[in-house]
Amino acid sequence: MPMSETAEFPLPADVTEEERAAARDGIAKYATIREETPRAIRFDGRVIGQTGPIWRFQYTRLYALEKGFLAAGHELREGIVVGYAETPEQLPECFLDPRVREFVEDELRFRKIIGGTSAPHA
């Protein structure tokens, strides 16, 4: 049974066709896409968190899917990055940079998606 909620991943105003395809293809691997507009991709899921500018990421969005969890973001040098995790605790691992992982983990804790305390900041 599909999720009854529709989530939205925003696309930057200057999105390239390659970035749009990366977002669409990455999301479509794990969720049913419902609509694509010039500035967003809408799909079956629920937003569970987001972060603003971190390192080279303009923004990240975190989603709960019918099965699993999705992380997507706009990396200024590499374009759209999409990752999947079976549990919300694994979502930070979708990002290579430890600073981004830390912010994603903190956001999930703040939203009470995962429990416990975050690692001490260096």
pLDDT at 42: 98
Q: CA–CA separation, 32 vs 2, rounded Å?
A: 8
Q: CA–CA separation, 110 vs 60, rounded Å?
A: 15
* Residue 2 scores a pLDDT above 80: no
Average pLDDT of the segment spanning 17-35:
96
Q: Rounded to 5 degrees, what are φ and ψ at 26?
A: -65, -45
Q: CA–CA separation, 2 vs 20, rounded Å?
A: 24
* Residue 116 scores a pLDDT above 90: no
pLDDT at 3: 59
- Which DSSP category does 92 fall into? G
Q: What is the pTM of this model?
A: 0.88
pLDDT, tens digit, 9 for 90 and up, residues 65-95: 999 999 999 998 889 999 999 999 999 999 9
pLDDT at 19: 93
Could you tell me the CA-to-CA distances from 107 to 22, 89, 100 in Å, in that order? 24, 11, 11
Q: Percent of the chain at pLDDT above 70?
A: 92
Q: CA–CA separation, 22 vs 4, rounded Å?
A: 25
pLDDT at 113: 95
